[in-house]
Structure 1
Amino acid sequence: MNRTTTVRVDIETYEGLKKLSTELNQPMQKIIQEALAEYKRKVILSKTAEAFAALKKNNELWEEETEERKLWENTLQDGIEQ
């Protein structure tokens, strides 16, 4: 059973959601679910990019990272068929 709740939004947001619902012929709930999933992906990618940038700024950690990558690259040349 799908449980639901009420969320308050301003009138502009509601009107935009209603318009999208009509244009896409989808329920507002589905549009919100998909928008939230997309936003989560965006946040995860943003945090990943920030962490990667911080890693690259730390010379010692970045060197460890590149050394580990070299080790992993060698595993592809170990003669084992894929």
Structure 2
Amino acid sequence: MIMINKTTTVRVDIETYEGLKKLSQQLNQPMQKIIQEALAEYKRKVILSATAEAFAALKENSELWQEEIEERQLWENTLQDGIEK
């Protein structure tokens, strides 16, 4: 099975292009790879930020936070149930 690498054009301002070009030369990597890796890193950052916000909101709600603590304690008890890994 032959996979065709599809691409498209994305417009960026000249400052962004020059920065990308310079980074490409410094790292000796194609601009496309740098963009792919930057996007993957940005996705991770967005996910971590959303997770941190959700966790902070959970901690602010004392009833839900107490439920979380109780559930954690239940899970910790399962580690001591004598079952070998």
Poorly superposed stretches of 4+, deviation over 4 Å: none
Equivalent residue for 2:82?
79
* Number of equivalent positions: 82
- In structure 2, how many angstroms separate the alpha carbons of the residues matched to 1:58 and 1:15? 47
Q: Please, which runs of 5 or more residues in structure 1 have no aligned partner?
A: none
Q: Which residues in structure 2 correspond to 1:22-33 (within 5 Å)?
A: 22-33=25-36
Report the counterpart of residue 47 of structure 1 in structure 2. Answer: 50
Indicate yes or no: 2:7 matched with 1:4. yes
Q: Percent identity?
A: 87
TM-score of the aligned structures, taking structure 2 as reference length = 0.95
**What's the CA shift string for 1:9-62, capped at 9, x where partnerless?**
000000000000000000000000000000000000000000000000000000
Question: How far apart in 1 are the matches of 2:48 and 2:18?
Answer: 29
Deviation of 1:3 after TM superposition, in Å, equals 0.6
Q: Which runs of 5+ in 2 are unaligned?
A: none
Q: TM-score if structure 1 supplies the norm length?
A: 0.99
| Aligned residue number for residue 39 of structure 2 | 36
